[in-house]
Chain A
Amino acid sequence: MYQSLKEIQKLSGHTDQVWCVSWSPSGTLLASCGGDKTIRIWGKEGDSWVCKSVLTDAHTRTIRAVAWSPCGQYLAAASFDATTSVWSRKSGEFECLATLEGHENEVKCVGWACTGNLLATCARDKSVWIWEVTADEEFECASVLSTHTQDVKYVKWHPTSELLASCSYDDTVRLYREASDDWESCAMLKGHSSTVWSVDFDKDGHRLVSAGADASLKIWQEYEPGNTEGVSTPDNISVWKCVCTLGGHHERPVYSVSWCALSGRIATASGDDSLCVYQEMPAEDAKNAPKFDIAVRQRGAHSEDVNCVSWNPVEEGLLASCSDDGSIKVWQVQKE
């Protein structure tokens, strides 16, 4: 099934490389950040996307990632200056609510749990921090997880439960959950041959996709205790197994992967300047041996490395990407 990407609009404004784009939960706003130490908020006016606000002065170094809370009222930003800022837009304007300190060096990523009560950050200091959001909008460190042996690149929460995934320069993905009193690492997913840059869950959260510097994607399936396949689950904890590896489409590291909850499509962004979209195909045993086909290979999507790609959570087929070339692009998948 061949599809294509139609470039809807190119958004210019950042004065340095753009590292991350993130859609608000309602899909109406897009936040971006990058080397120019600013966060830009984009919204639609009429038929076009325009820059609604520029958030400055919160960070002294690159802003690596931005993430919206599930309610859409808060935005968190992770920076190389070792801090994470949290912004509120309850008053109508974005105001910096808190600056989370604790990491020893560059914070690489930040993410909100589905409940909105927890925040996770990760850094080059090899740790993942879990923060509790209190009723009076304060943030308290609930746990410091130091299971990765290298730089932690990315964190992503499960879509419906308080399960966290992280991935690292140590080539692994780890999963964490709260056990009785403290957080613990409950799974290590090993398979990539180099840095894992990004992960994402599917709609239900029983599958995870990971992507990395080895230019490949891996799909991991959860096997819960008592699964019919007979996969053993020691300690009564789910086991995650790689059920599919996709390679040969990107020529350089894959920096970002996004799994669309609406369509089930997977989008990837790479250092080879291209975007790819994968579509799941009917398979005899879709759980244990799923099949994915490449639906779009958009070469030269940007003129330099593409750092991030993200599906709009509401409008099916709408995609945002950003690049070292300083631009952001909005795309629409078209069936042919």
Chain B
Amino acid sequence: MLFVIYSKKDLIRVINDPEHPLTLEELNVVVESNIKVDDDKNNVYVEFVPTIPHCSMATLIGLSIRVKLLRSLPPRFKVDVKIAPGTHESELAVNKQLADKERVAAALENFHLLELVNQCLSKRATG
């Protein structure tokens, strides 16, 4: 169980911010206490904090987290990615979009959007 949490944390911490030359962990967008894993019930719940309350990239960041988890976890896991309560002005709208599997599936068939997500998920040279 602990192993799962830590490895997951490792998965998310390396996601790049679309606008900054930093990772989501470095920007405190995703902190460990906001990742919850229930290995028995196959649930993974992640809350993230956009850098600013009107961050226009919130959906892209959430989508990148979701995609990273979908690609990395066994398919038995149900993944919920949400904005931490009170940290974004369009919190409910973004959460609803991120929870809509059909929209996520369609977004991932959109070449341009997929490229943006992949940029967030690509390994960036450190230095």
Contact = CB atoms under 8 A, between A and B. Distances in A.
A172 to B, nearest CB: 14
Interface in A219-239: none
Contact of A62 (B75, B78, B96, B106): B106
Contact of A194 (B75, B76, B96, B109): B96
Contacts of A184: none
Query: How big is chain B's contact interface, by range?
Result: 10 to 19
Nearest to B41: A251
Given A195-B96, A213-B99, A124 B75 contact: no
Contacts of B105: 17, 35, 62, 80
Contacts of A325: 75
12 contacts: A64-B102, A124-B103, A124-B106, A151-B100, A169-B96, A169-B100, A194-B96, A195-B96, A213-B99, A213-B100, A271-B101, A325-B75
A324 B76 CA distance: 10
A17 B105 CA distance: 10
Return the 6 tightest CB-CB contacts between A and B, nearest first: A61-B109, A106-B106, A80-B106, A304-B75, A80-B109, A62-B109
A169 B104 CA distance: 14
A170 to B, nearest CB: 11
Contacts of B109: 61-62, 80
A80 B105 CA distance: 10
A41 B75 CA distance: 27
Given A195-B96, A303-B75, 12 more contacts: A80-B109, A108-B102, A124-B103, A151-B100, A169-B100, A213-B99, A213-B100, A271-B78, A303-B76, A304-B76, A305-B101, A325-B75
Contacts of B103: 124, 151
A64 B100 CA distance: 14
A203 interface: no
Contacts of B99: 213, 253
A153 interface: yes
Contacts, number: 37
A61 to B, nearest CB: 5
B77 to A, nearest CB: 10
Interface of A: 17, 35, 61-62, 64, 80, 106, 108, 124, 151, 153, 169, 194-195, 213, 252-253, 271-272, 303-305, 324-325
A194 B78 CA distance: 19
B102 A153 contact: yes
Contacts of B101: 271, 305
Contacts of A35: 105
A305 B109 CA distance: 19
Interface in B82-114: 96, 99-103, 105-106, 109
A305 B78 CA distance: 9
A213 B102 CA distance: 12
B78 to A, nearest CB: 7
Contacts of B100: 151, 169, 195, 213
Contacts of A252: 78
A324 B106 CA distance: 14
B43 to A, nearest CB: 10
Interface string B1-22: 0000000000000000000000
B44 to A, nearest CB: 13
B28 to A, nearest CB: 30
Contacts of A272: 78
A305 B75 CA distance: 10
Contacts of A62: 105-106, 109
Contacts of A64: 102
A272 B78 CA distance: 8
A106 B105 CA distance: 11
Nearest to A195: B100
Most buried by A among B75, B96, B105, B109: B105
Interface in B47-104: 75-76, 78, 96, 99-103
A153 B109 CA distance: 18
B79 to A, nearest CB: 11
Contact of B75 (A108, A151, A324): A324
A286 to B, nearest CB: 35
Nearest to A303: B76
